[in-house]
Amino acid sequence: MNFFAFKSAAERYAVGRLFFHTIVIARVREFLSLTELLARALDVGCGTGLSSVALKEIASRIVGIDAAPSMIAHAPTDARINYSVAVAERLPFCEQAFDLITLSQVSHWLDRKVFFAEARRVLRPGRWLIAYDAYFSAQTIEHTDFQMWHEAIYLKNYPSPPRSPVALAAEDVAGTGFQLCEEERLQHTISFTVEQLVEYLLTQSNVIAAVEGGTKEIGEVRDWLTKNVTPFFAGHDAAGFLFNVPIWYLQSTV
């Protein structure tokens, strides 16, 4: 099941997802010591285009691909970005077509062995594949008991669907033609109102699996989330939630 292929899920994604990607791209620029724009970058699993837009900071031309046409339908039009419907395991590009490949919050959904072979084929020798994520820790300074509610109540009602581990380790890339050269872990705080937090949670695969999978109605989930999270905001218009942002730097060795 492609949790992000549904039109209804894509619509929520376009509203509730966060544009955190520029903080990652700033770190990528520093790590790679870039002093000028790369010629061409590929953003795999681009979703609604936020991760592709962020690449404008370091690349002249960007190609964003996603397996879900409904996601790409919400991507912003940009003269420097081309979007295409394609799966990561069958990249529709010629050999050595790109100077950089990025994966934003998508590596745990892929057949990694097959994808790495394709990435190696379309990436120029010695160039970089950057995988990164930003996952919700449920930690907040204002309401320390929110994390307990998230673990005991939210995840019990909306468990995470099966997927590969988010993290990448050296053994995951062994024999793929890539070397894991560095792993960096950032932390980033996002301020949410009640409404913004609910909209974000409605984009998570936990909720998509329940709603688009047919066991829950979106209105029911929205009302339940609003009722449950509102008490944590008592006396506050907004609260800051911590996101963990790991970045994996992989270099092509062939």
In SS3 terms, 126-168 reads as: EEEEEEECCEEEEEECCCCCHHHHHHHHHHHHCCCCCCCCCCC
Note whether 161 and 205 are within 8 A (CB). yes
Give the pLDDT confidence score for residue 74 in this predicted structure.
96
45-87 per-position pLDDT tens digit:
999 999 999 999 999 999 999 999 999 999 999 999 999 999 9
DSSP helix/strand/coil, 87? coil
Q: Determine if the pTM surpasses 0.75.
A: yes
Does 254 have pLDDT greater than 90? no
205-238 per-position pLDDT tens digit:
999 999 998 889 999 999 999 999 999 998 789 9
Note whether 108 and 160 are within 8 A (CB). no
Q: How confident is the model at residue 163 (pLDDT cuts 50, 70, 90)?
A: confident
